[in-house]
Structure 1
Amino acid sequence: MANRFTNILRGSFLTNDDALKNWKFMLFSAMLALIMIYSGHSLERKSHYISQLNEEVNELRSQYVEGQRELMFLQMESTIASNLKPTGIKPPSSPPQKITVKSQQDGND
């Protein structure tokens, strides 16, 4: 047991006759470690991007609500009347009258 431990510390397991299989395993382990590191960084980048998009969605939602509020204010009859007052246009004092038109059929000429 102590002999194996000293071989690992000295690195002789990399230089003996069976070292090729050890090198293959070490390269495989290094490749897996690089893939794990890349995956972690990629996941973190995507997480930051998602949070940025969520902030943008919240900002756009608040702009939409503000626009809706402003539109409702501008559509009110009192706002329209006050905006048109300098031009001399005012709301009618009597309600509108309904006009009906009777159409003639083609066979009654």
Structure 2
Amino acid sequence: MQDEAFFDETEQLEEASSAPTDTAARKRAWRLRINYRFIVQHTPYILFLSGLALVYIANIHYTEKKIWDINRLDKEIRELKWDYISRKSDLMYNSKMSEVSDKVSGQGLKPLNTPPQKIEVEKK
């Protein structure tokens, strides 16, 4: 038993001593296999993933552009809404009876003290 264990250990040591040269050769073979064979075999898959990445990037750019447009339009709507409210407020103020009478008093017009009269025309 002990002899078998001794022989197993010596075999492992011999394999370990020859392993660095064998490992280097395996690494080189692996690199070559990755470089050429892997790329050639997986070219369609790599192209598909590249296409998906391009579509993903384009989609992100398109979405960001739409968000910028939405924000710009939202700001413009708020500005137009405030402009509408301010113009409406000015119109309401300027259409008051006192404001109208002040503006036309320079032209010789003055407010009526008597109510308007209805004119009736007889049909013949």
TM-score of the aligned structures, taking structure 2 as reference length: 0.70
2:116 alignment counterpart = 96
| 8 A contact 1:81–1:91 mirrored in 2 | yes
Correspondent of 2:90 among 70, 73, 83: 70
Could you report, residue by residue, the CA deviation over 1:22-47 in whole angstroms, capped at 9, with x for unpaired residues?
01110110010011011011101100
- Percent identity, aligned pairs only? 29
Gaps of 5+ in 2: 1-25
Larger relative CO (CA 8 A, sep 6+): 1 or 2?
1
What's the Cα RMSD here?
2.0
Whose Rg is larger?
2
* CA distance in structure 2 between the partners assigned to 1:32 and 1:55 by the alignment: 35
Gaps of 5+ in 1: 105-109
TM-score of the aligned structures, taking structure 1 as reference length: 0.79
1:49 alignment counterpart = 69
